[in-house]
Structure 1
Amino acid sequence: MLLDINDAPEKSIRIFGQLIDIFEEQSINPTPLNYFIWYEYYKGDNPKFRQEMDKILSDPFGYNDRLGRRLYDEYFADDDDSADNEFDKALKRLISLVIKKMNIWSDKLAQQSEELDKFATSLNDPNIDAATLKELTHTVQSTVTSMQESSADLQKELMSSNEEITRLRKQLIEARAQVMLDELTEVGNRKAFNIAMAEMMDSAQASGNPESLVLIMTDIDHFKRFNDNFGHLVGDSVLRYFANTMKKSKLENETICRYGGEEFAVILSDSDLESAMERAESIRHNIETAKLKRKDSTKELGLITASFGIATYKGLEETVDEFIKRADDALYLAKEQGRNQVKTELDLEAQQAAE
């Protein structure tokens, strides 16, 4: 039975999604057996196995293929097919088949090696005659050929199993990408935003220049009127157009996400406040000059504008929520002062000082 990501519970998808990154970071062989061992580790259903894995991972030498095989033999080889979902059952059957093939090949190799040892002993006999030598030579050739065939069969089986895992990995990458995408606008969703913010804040802090991370929060002015006057389908079209406008001029160092409703976020790494202001102003201008019409009419939808708020990351002294709030507060300041404009944390500080 082929592994199918559609049969996997949400927890399994999350775990395998993690393993894709973990295997690359730790240079772990992406074999079916290793995927199985690490999947079971993160699933956490076997406390004794998990404790031993914890010990192995705390050791300077860490995990390797040999340890993976021993762990399988000790904790999973004799388990019955008691998984509670089809995905886990198919995964266990795949690993059992791989291990069975490896055991058959290992037994054959041991038997053939024993035969070669006997032949070597016979060849050392000083009284060996020509006929016996010829017979032994033929037998050795046959044994070597058999070993080569067995090895080729095993490689073929392992390749098939690895292809299965590769196919699963591709499915998981695609599934993970879909989970992180906003269906309507096809930019990152709120989950993608949260993950990107956490990763980029860590990177900016580690670089020693946290202010190189800049956040732009933006939303469409008076968006409710599009829904009220033209219906939600037109409102959705406006959101898509706004997202596409940002995507068309997207920079290499930025991540665009839909934060919620008509509000979007643009995260810029290796940037600064001035560059972010230029980027926000460019988006604002492109939206303001757009002339959108309904598909079923020549009537224009009217002026579309957006407001923007910008903040730079202050480092460990502030949380992600505080960072977002400063950009949001700058956005609300832009709306309070007439909309269709860009405001930054500096404008916010100036207003607070004047109050």
Structure 2
Amino acid sequence: MTATAAKRVQTMDTATMVIATMRKHGISALPRNYELVYEVLNSSNAALTREFDAIGGRPTQEQLDVIGKKYFSHHHRSGVVEVAHHRISGELEGMLRLLKQEQSSLESYSRLLGETYSRISVKSASSADILAGVINVLSSATGDTMEKGKAVVSHMVERAREMEQVKLELDEYKRIANTDTLTRLSNRRAFDETLSGIYNDKRHAMYHALIVADIDHFKKFNDTYGHPVGDRVLGVVAAVMKSTLRKDIFIARTGGEEFAVVLQGTSLDITSEIAERVRRSIESTPLKNQKSGLDYGPITMSLGICMATDAATPEELYNKADMALYAAKKSGRNRVEIYKPELDTDLEKNWTLYKK
């Protein structure tokens, strides 16, 4: 990155610079892309910056994901799933072999019954000899078949338990992989999945809404009081959001100081009321040092809203909610803005106005 670009990052709202960079390079507004560009602009990882610059001015999503897989493996954790898939495939193959063996055993037993019936039908043999032979053969064959059946059942139960254990491990992996370690909210990966799910059924999309929220002047907390206080700010915001919203509402920390709320079964009026309630709750929550009594100042958030009916894809929904968020920033912060079509042109022309 050039010295001029670095200086712009220092003087401009970082999140705004990320959005502007993504627009300039034609990068889709996916959460994982946001984190990649954010780290390129703000981290000291020279190797990451060099690789990003090397892919050129209009990178493909495949090129971005190659870099993301290398530096942000939490978005590309396929290894655990692949191992689990291999284990389950092995167990299923084992079950199939057992069932085939059982089928073969039953077919043999069926043939034996047929042969025995034929022997019973032979009129030349005495009844006593026939019955003695039949009882001996059937007793032995039935005992073997039952023992083999018990063994098959035992193996099947054992393999079923193994697959249940794999399922539990996958569930735990998914829980950990989808949780932000600092705030204990859902993370960007979970948000990506939830956002994509909105448009799985176009008929239900009209009942969904997205709220994106950004802590105002978050960098000042870190610069003035240090990162531990910044982390505490994130924790306080997460706790307030969880206590303010219903437990069934999806809340995520999508990166840095940005959060997102996905609502379903809602309207624009209800969504606006919910966003405003969150804003007021954050604003009224004090942030003080419990030992020294030092007041770190108020925490405020700017929020942007977009209804799912105003977008055709998850990416577009996120992008438009983001436009509303930065309209809130431009209007003075600590407020809620709703996406309007005119924001598309306004943000493209005036993003340089969103400075601290």
Q: Pick the TM interval, shorter chain.
A: 0.5 to 0.7
Q: How does 1:235-314 map to 2 (within 5 A)?
A: 235-251=230-246, 254-314=249-309
For 2:267 and 2:209, locate their aligned partners in 1 and report how far apart those are by CA, in whole Å: 6
Deviation, 1:188, is: 1.9
Is the contact between residue 180 and residue 253 of structure 2 (CA under 8 Å) also seen in structure 1? yes
Deviation, 1:153, is: 0.9
Q: Could you tell me which residue of structure 1 aligns to residue 11 of structure 2?
A: none
Deviation, 1:257, is: 1.5
- Pick aligned residue for 1:339 from 333, 339, 352: 333
Q: Which runs of 5+ in 2 are unaligned?
A: 1-75, 351-356
For 2:265 and 2:93, locate their aligned partners in 1 and report how far apart those are by CA, in whole Å: 48
Identify the range of structure 1 (260-269 vs 292-301) with the bigger mean alpha-carbon deviation. Answer: 292-301
Q: Could you tell me which residue of structure 1 aligns to residue 319 of structure 2?
A: 325
Q: Could you tell me which residue of structure 1 aligns to residue 106 of structure 2?
A: 109
Identify the range of structure 1 (268-277 vs 185-194) with the bigger mean alpha-carbon deviation. Answer: 185-194
Percent identity reads 29
Identify the range of structure 1 (137-146 vs 183-192) with the bigger mean alpha-carbon deviation. Answer: 137-146
Query: CA distance change for structure 1 residues 16 and 196 in 2, over 3 Å: closer, same or farther?
Result: farther
Deviation, 1:301, is: 2.5
Is the contact between residue 91 and residue 163 of structure 2 (CA under 8 Å) also seen in structure 1? no
Query: CA distance change for structure 1 residues 342 and 218 in 2, over 3 Å: closer, same or farther?
Result: same
The alignment partner of 1:216 has SS state of: strand
Query: CA distance change for structure 1 residues 13 and 287 in 2, over 3 Å: closer, same or farther?
Result: same
Instruction: Calculate the TM-score normalised by the size of structure 2.
Output: 0.66
Higher relative contact order (CA 8 A, sep 6+): 2
Is the contact between residue 330 and residue 347 of structure 1 (CA under 8 Å) also seen in structure 2? no
The alignment partner of 2:334 has SS state of: coil
| 1:11 counterpart = 2:6 | no
Query: CA distance change for structure 1 residues 211 and 131 in 2, over 3 Å: closer, same or farther?
Result: closer
For 2:216 and 2:310, locate their aligned partners in 1 and report how far apart those are by CA, in whole Å: 31
The Cα offsets for residues 25-65 of structure 1, whole Å up to 9 and x where unpaired, read as: xxxxxxxxxxxxxx5xxxxxxxxxxxxxxxxxxxxxxxxxx
Instruction: Calculate the TM-score normalised by the size of structure 1.
Output: 0.66
Residue identity in the other structure for 2:165: R
For the aligned residues, what is the CA RMSD?
3.1
Query: CA distance change for structure 1 residues 283 and 16 in 2, over 3 Å: closer, same or farther?
Result: farther
For 2:127 and 2:263, locate their aligned partners in 1 and report how far apart those are by CA, in whole Å: 83
Query: CA distance change for structure 1 residues 100 and 276 in 2, over 3 Å: closer, same or farther?
Result: closer
Is the contact between residue 329 and residue 348 of structure 1 (CA under 8 Å) also seen in structure 2? no
For 2:109 and 2:120, locate their aligned partners in 1 and report how far apart those are by CA, in whole Å: 16
For 2:245 and 2:222, locate their aligned partners in 1 and report how far apart those are by CA, in whole Å: 27
The alignment partner of 2:182 has SS state of: coil
Residue identity in the other structure for 1:244: A
Q: Could you tell me which residue of structure 2 aligns to residue 85 of structure 1?
A: none
The Cα offsets for residues 333-353 of structure 1, whole Å up to 9 and x where unpaired, read as: 22222222212125976x96x
- Pick aligned residue for 1:140 from 116, 138, 141: 138
Q: Could you tell me which residue of structure 1 aligns to residue 208 of structure 2?
A: 213
Is the contact between residue 263 and residue 271 of structure 2 (CA under 8 Å) also seen in structure 1? yes
Residue identity in the other structure for 2:198: M
Query: CA distance change for structure 1 residues 196 and 152 in 2, over 3 Å: closer, same or farther?
Result: same
Is the contact between residue 287 and residue 305 of structure 1 (CA under 8 Å) also seen in structure 2? yes
Deviation, 1:11, is: 3.5
Residue identity in the other structure for 2:78: K
Query: CA distance change for structure 1 residues 93 and 281 in 2, over 3 Å: closer, same or farther?
Result: closer
Query: CA distance change for structure 1 residues 242 and 268 in 2, over 3 Å: closer, same or farther?
Result: same
The Cα offsets for residues 280-320 of structure 1, whole Å up to 9 and x where unpaired, read as: 1111121112123335433233211111111212356x443
Q: Which runs of 5+ in 1 are unaligned?
A: 1-8, 18-38, 40-87
Identify the range of structure 1 (229-238 vs 100-109) with the bigger mean alpha-carbon deviation. Answer: 100-109
For 1:267 and 1:109, locate their aligned partners in 2 and report how far apart those are by CA, in whole Å: 55
Query: CA distance change for structure 1 residues 12 and 123 in 2, over 3 Å: closer, same or farther?
Result: farther
For 2:280 and 2:80, locate their aligned partners in 1 and report how far apart those are by CA, in whole Å: 41
Q: How does 1:107-256 map to 2 (within 5 A)?
A: 107-126=104-123, 127-130=125-128, 132-203=130-201, 205-207=202-204, 210-251=205-246, 254-256=249-251
